[in-house]
Amino acid sequence: MKPRTEAELAETVAGLQDPVRISGGGTRGIGGPEMTIETGGLSGITLYEPGALTIVAQAGTPVAEIEAALEAEGQQLAFEPMDHRGLLGTNGAPTIGGVVAANISGPRRIQAGACRDFLLGVRYVDGKGQVVKNGGRVMKNVTGYDLVKLMGGSWGTLGVLTEVSLKVLPKPQAVATLAVRVADGSRAVGALSAALKSPFEVSGAAFDPQDGHALLRIEGFADSVAYRVGQLKSVLAEYGDVAERDGSAEIWQAIRDVSVFHGHEGDVWRISVKPSDAPGIAARLGADQTLFDWGGGLIWALVRKGDDLRARLGAFDGHATLVRAAAETVEALGRFQPESAGIQALTQGIRQRFDPRGLFNPGLMG
């Protein structure tokens, strides 16, 4: 089903008898029922005001279309959404609704914020087929409860997004990347942390153990970038040899999309932790390969197929999401970290009220 208007979508949902999969471009590999509601029929930028740093688009609008429009005005989606196609081997065009529904953020998340931090407003159709709006298109809005955040990252389980408003930011004039040669993960996180707590504003902080270098991204006006690169070189000197690396755009896109895992067999996990815990946790994973982003706060792990990584981790501060695995593994282990009883009661209560018939992406979030 591919409704072309919000009203048509609402009517479709109201008439549903069975659960459905909600799909934007179908690139995030969520699985689910065969019967699908595709949002691609709801497409197009509704409003773009560069002077107000805001863009409003229908949920099925391709991310590429939005990025092109922003590019023309020297602006960007600062949260740098990941493109999952390479990692998951999916096709199709990622949509802005999919990005929002999954709260997809890239390396700049540590400095600029996550997708949910840029989300200003949503319109969606709930499980009863009602159109609901929350938030709006202004940057500061505390009018009523913030269901905008709730819908961001709800993976379509609370409603089908029809329109989203986002804050955008100017694209930086210049970008540089520093690479620090480090012995291990703990030295790497030390270096990343030293840079992140300096006043020299870093917008990317990653570590690829295979490559053996902690990577830092510095963005802004050309002179400012040159100055901060110089300052950071001295801050980082104690952690290892520091050198500038060319090809910033490719380097950070590869980190964003976890390119080092592309084409490699195995299950992929995404683990959010306190950065200083990262080296210890990574050591316990028994992973074939890892990649650290967000200063260590995000660990990507490639593990043997079917491996129960959560069991191996035991209790830890953070959460582990199974991003890529066979359907049986996802079924057995669950995609998302199990929640405490108190939190589970709240999320189930919310789900029950937003989608009382359990229509949307059933089982995806538990």
Partner 1 sequence: MEMPKPNPDILRRKDVVLRRLQQVLPEDAVIHDPAETRAYECDALTAYRCPPMLAVLPSTTSEVSDVLRICNEEGVPVVPRGSGTSLAGGALPTADSVILGIARMNDVLETDYDNRFIRVQTGRTNLSVTGAVEEDDFFYAPDPSSQLACAIAGNIGMNSGGAHCLKYGVTTNNLLGVTMVMMDGSVVEIGGAHLDAGGLDLLGVVCGSEGQLGVVTEATLRILRKPEGARPVLMGFDDNEVAGQCVSDIIKSGILPVAIEFMDTLCIKACENFAQAGYPDCHALLIVEVEGSEAEIDYQLSKIIEIAKRHNPVELRESQSAEESAKIWLGRKSAFGAMGQMNDYMCLDGTIPVSALPQVLRRIGELSEEYGLPVGNVFHAGDGNMHPLILFDANKPGDLEKCEAFGADILKLCVDVGGCLTGEHGVGIEKRDLMSHQYAPADLEAQMAVKDVFDPNWLLNPAKVFPLDVSQPRRDARIAAE
Which string of x and - marks every residue 79-118 that binds partner 1 (by CB under 8 A)? ------------------------x-x---xx--xx-xx-
CB 294 within 8 Å of CB 110: yes
Q: Tell me how crowded residue 278 is: count the other CB atoms within 10 A of its CB.
A: 28
Count of positions on this chain that bind partner 1 (CB under 8 A): 84
| Stretch touching partner 1 by CB under 8 A, among 25-33, 164-172, 207-215, 235-243 | 164-172
Q: CA 29, CA 196: separation in Å to the nearest integer?
A: 33
The footprint of partner 1 on residues 332-361 (CB under 8 A) is 336-337, 339-340, 342-343, 346-347, 349-351, 353-354
By beta-carbon proximity to partner 1, the closer residue of 92 and 129 is: 129
Phi-psi domain of 352 (left: phi exceeds 0; alpha: psi -120 through 50; beta: other): alpha
The footprint of partner 1 on residues 282-341 (CB under 8 A) is 294, 297-298, 317-319, 321, 336-337, 339-340
By beta-carbon proximity to partner 1, the closer residue of 63 and 281 is: 281
Q: Among residues 152, 204, 209, 279, which is the contact residue for partner 1, using CB under 8 A? A: 152
Q: CA 254, CA 247: separation in Å to the nearest integer?
A: 11
Which string of x and - marks every residue 45-84 that binds partner 1 (by CB under 8 A)? ----xxxxxx------------------xx----------
Helix axis angle, 222-236 relative to 185-196, nearest 10°? 130
Q: Least distance (Å) from partner 1 to the CB of residue 101?
A: 12
244-to-179, 192, 215, 225, 344 alpha-carbon distances in Å:
6, 15, 10, 12, 47
By beta-carbon proximity to partner 1, the closer residue of 87 and 114 is: 114
Q: Least distance (Å) from partner 1 to the CB of residue 172?
A: 8
Helices vs. strands in the chain: H and E counts, helices first = 14, 17
Beta strands in 72-117 (DSSP E): 75-76
The footprint of partner 1 on residues 202-261 (CB under 8 A) is 220-221, 223-224, 227-228
By beta-carbon proximity to partner 1, the closer residue of 32 and 121 is: 121
- For position 21 contacting partner 1 by CB under 8 A, the verdict is no
Which residues pair with residue 179 across a beta bridge? 215, 243
Max Cα–Cα distance, the chain, nearest Å: 64
